[in-house]
Structure 1
Amino acid sequence: MLLVIDIGNTNISIGVYDADRLALSLRVATVINRMPDEYAALLLQLLDINGIKAESINKVALCSVVPPLTDTFEELSRRYFKAEPLIVGAGTKTGVKIRMDNPREVGADRIVNAAAAYQLYKTACIVVDLGTATTFDTVSADGEYIGGAIAPGLNTAAEALTSRASMLPRIELHRPEKAIGTSTVKAMQSGLIFGYVGLVEAVIGRIQAELPSQATVIATGGHADLLAAETRIFNTINHDLTLYGLRLIYYMNRA
């Protein structure tokens, strides 16, 4: 079995593939100072609860935007799964050509998403990853990663708002009943959620206008469902896009 791990700033997405079937998909909180043995204890327990034997895992692929945890999971893979992990980075074969000014500065997760999207949909794509950051990644009809846009994520924006405005409370990101908020909490929910719908629609509209043909728009990430309920801009939602991309890239490099 193949263990795939996407290490993000807020959450770590974990999947287990049995051949081409995603047998398990789960998320745990990113804790940067957690040791390899601590993450191993958590991961082994989660595998056991879900009926997956640790000894059945003999392959590992990961991408990371948290460098200290890259080393943590590399050590974990070697010690507990006896596997040399494939770590997606500069020089890794991904199936997409990177047409950026500096290809090395593109986050590994963004490249993994682009590779997965092109493989799945076989057309020009815009991947909108709604996580700690809101990223827009554009793949041409020829399978080239041509760039995109980056904005703060919903939670990041909410935290910035409450930390810089002492009278504003922390809130849950739930959809308000209407745009005109009748309380501070409802007004903040309106501004954040409906405001981000507008942001996403505007950025996608501008990207589409710069492409020679219409692109398929894929939503992924923790807030995909929340925003997709408020707009028709997305053609599809794929929560496991990064996990699929990691599997794809693993076999592309270790075939």
Structure 2
Amino acid sequence: IDCMVVGPGVKTGLNIRIDDPATLGADMCCVGVAAKIHYDLPCIIVDLGTASKVFAVNEKGEFLGGIISVGVEMAFRALSSGTASLPLISGGNVPHAIGTNTVDSMRSGVIIGMASMIDGFVERFTKEMGSVKSVVATGGYSPLVLPYCKSSIVYDADLLLKGMLAIYKKNK
């Protein structure tokens, strides 16, 4: 099996319109390619993994840029390591936005906070882009966060792999 590294010089079919295209992460490139192929454009892509990312592909299939923020696990670790008495917890059910104990309050803050951030960026990106036909999410924390989003977001667990396959086929 031949190995291929997604980076400068690899054909992707995605016009990258950021200040320095060589700095775009391979993961963001792959999901951008997959979104361009599999979803209606213009499109907003949400990737909830180690970091939380929201970025945009316009109606021409051009990667416009986006945001990178703290991820869910990173937020939980920061709360625990940066304070004297907050425990290290993981995601879970958030029964109410108003937490009535420490763990529920932390989960509400991180998970509903992340959902609110996503909703806010979907709204702001849509305003800047003029219109959006699809919003798609991927990444391991999407199933945890998306139920708390108000925006209509399609979950595609395989978006990264779809993009990798498309790039591989384009270059073989």
TM-score (norm 1): 0.65
Shift of 1:156: 0.7
CA contact (8 A) 1:89 1:108 kept: yes
Match of 1:62 in 2: none
Structure of greater relative contact order (alpha carbons < 8 Å, 6+ residues apart): 2
Shift of 1:157: 0.9
Within the candidate set 185, 188, 197, 2:103 is matched to 185
Is 1:117 matched up with 2:48? no
CA contact (8 A) 1:219 1:234 kept: no
- What residue ranges of structure 2 are gaps of 5+ in the alignment? none
Larger Rg: 1
Match of 1:168 in 2: 86
3-state SS of 2:75 partner: helix
3-state SS of 2:7 partner: coil
TM-score (norm 2): 0.96
Deviations 1:37-76 (A, max 9, x none): xxxxxxxxxxxxxxxxxxxxxxxxxxxxxxxxxxxxxxxx
Match of 2:19 in 1: 101
Q: How many residues align?
A: 172
Q: Which runs of 4+ in 1 moved over 3 A?
A: none
Q: Residue 92 of structure 1 aligns to which amino acid in structure 2? A: V
Deviations 1:162-207 (A, max 9, x none): 1100210011211221122121111111111111111111111111
Is 1:127 matched up with 2:58? no
Match of 1:76 in 2: none
Query: Partners of 1:109 and 1:146 in 2: how far apart?
Result: 15
- What residue ranges of structure 1 are gaps of 5+ in the alignment? 1-82
Deviations 1:206-243 (A, max 9, x none): 11110022241101001111112112414310000000
Relative to 1, partners in 2 of residues 1:207 and 1:199: Cα closer, same or farther, differing over 3 Å? same
CA contact (8 A) 2:73 2:90 kept: no
CA contact (8 A) 1:175 1:193 kept: no
Percent identity, aligned pairs only? Answer: 38
